[in-house]
Structure 1
Amino acid sequence: MQPLEVKVGGEQPYTVTVGAGLLARVRVPQRHVALIHPADLPPAFVETVQAALSPTVTVSVPPRDGCKTLAVYADVLSQLAAANLPRDGAVVGLGGGAATDLAGFVAASYLRGVAFYTLPTTLLGMVDAAVGGKTGVNLPEGKNLVGAFWPPQAVWCDTDTLTTLPSEIFREGAAEAYKHGLIADPSLLPRVLSPDFRPGDPGLEATLADAIRVKAEVVTRDPTEQGERAHLNFGHTLAHALEAHTHHAIPHGEAVGYGMHYAALLSRALGGADLTAHTRAFLRWQRPTPLPDLTFDDLWPYMARDKKADADGVRFVLLHDLGRPYLGRVPGAVLRREFAAWQTDLTLVR
């Protein structure tokens, strides 16, 4: 089967390629390459890309969000400098969304910016993190508070890598694909929850390409989140708070699953369509990590400083209906009331 291609436009257009066996076929025009990957990545993935690109330096970083710290970022920059990676070199990020976020920020800032390519190996990375040019690291105060917009030159999504994922990691990543169905392409909703949505299924690549296309079209129109791109944050305000409060014991995709249901409750409370059946169905399918005991006041400080906040208060991405997102501010009393409803719902979903 021929790989599928999704075009991302804008001032620096690039192509996202989706298909099997792509790691071995990766080629870049730069002679000097820094390959950045998480330490827990299957060695065969790293060796395949090393054989294809002959990198000047290969840097291993901590797994998942453990790599998205200022300390790791500084260490990677030092390793690139020690290897004399030149200004006309390139950074290649191989791995999940956290590793590619870090690699992109390194590329954006090393020698004031070098070429960047990404090879996502998780569903979450393919559908979300690798597309759109958002790069960065976390602070103790919250997610993604330091970073830069730095589009990749190309993205290769090798679907063979998904067959190595534990089932819970694959289900985690599905949250972003389902979110794209809620905000833009409702045809994705039954496809994501279908028994056929699994690694190795012949139809998986088409579903992934369609989910990626939603984000590609949005970031083409709004590359630096001046307006419409904020809609991609549906479910993320609560999600980032859950991640920060639990020190990432709740992984990103599962936090987004929880956050989408809260956002659906808020949307209904403010007069939107009742879409909570969709978000409940997703939580039943995803089976996320149970939450610890927590209160609204535990999460509020993180939501209040989330990057979707401004001088007038915290904004939430809400839905008038399927495919009709908007930005709105929610009264504090409604936030608290629906948080209680959200917690009650979660006991029923389990």
Structure 2
Amino acid sequence: MAQAYMTEPGQGQGPERAASRAARLRNWWRPDGMWRRGIVLAVLAVLLGLLMFLHGRIPNDLGNLGSLLETFLPWLGLGALLLLVLAVLRRSATALVALVLPFAVWLNLFGGQLTDKAGTGGNLTVVTHNVNADNPDPAATAQDIVNSKADVVALEELTADALPTYKRELAKTYPYRTVEGTVGLWSKLPLSDARPVDIKMGWTRALRATVTSADGRKVGIYAAHLPSVRVKVEAGFTANQRDGSAEALGEAIAADPLEKVILLGDLNGTMNDRSLAPVTSQMRSAQGAAGDGFGFSWPAAFPMARIDQIMMKGIDPIAAWTMKATGSDHLPLAASVKI
């Protein structure tokens, strides 16, 4: 006797299921589907690319939005990576093609930071460090500075309580020093012509001195700590005082009588920030020219921006690097230069 068998839907239908699977695969990757999917992702990719390409045209009139964007500009690359993942998951050829723009712009802006540009032959090592007014262990931080074997050190955010500790701990290694307000220079080489620099703050947070090398070469050294910036909901990126101080510092450096000048300090801004142009337009970044990676220095727990800077003019940077964390909320930066 013939028997009838009932089958569950999708079972016992091998050829039919294979055909259905092949049809779905063709639908996933057929040209019209690949190009029609992910239109929104493609638009976002183009907008992201244009934002990075035209960052200099974002106005600062409203909350200094341009400077805020430029401070964290490298991180926009993560947005492009996120869109790439979504485009692959969405199987969108349109979005993948559109992503060429943000990736190309990002590589043009920051691709050079991905390679190690350090060389050899430096004859002067410098360090800058915002030691943090609330540093719980100034003596340990001073020992970290000594261990760096730097020739010249600039410290920022010195307090009246901590300054005697730094003087005591650094005295043996650095016999020459000058301190003005909350910034100071310590040096193994003779210092002369030390004086405060007026950066329009009402109190002293910048100084200038001359360092004389063993063979008699003179270098102007600036130590500076520009005003802090804040991001406030009601006011945006409050950087106007910082911008005014940057202009005053740039004028002082431009008027320096020496051809060789080094700037060490916490500028509370990155090399991309247009508001620091009075300084950055006339000097080279040691990290940008001879570093390895981005050299982010703040905050120390998870560095997101290089707001501490070592810059120079008339001098070749040879190598630049970020030192290990101390008791500060900033990482120290070091550079080897050839004078």
Bigger relative contact order, structure 1 or 2 (CA pairs below 8 A, ≥6 apart):
2
Greater C-alpha radius of gyration: 2
The TM-score, its normalising length taken from structure 2, stands at: 0.25
Q: Tell me which protein shows more helix as a share of its residues.
A: 1
The TM-score, its normalising length taken from structure 1, stands at: 0.24
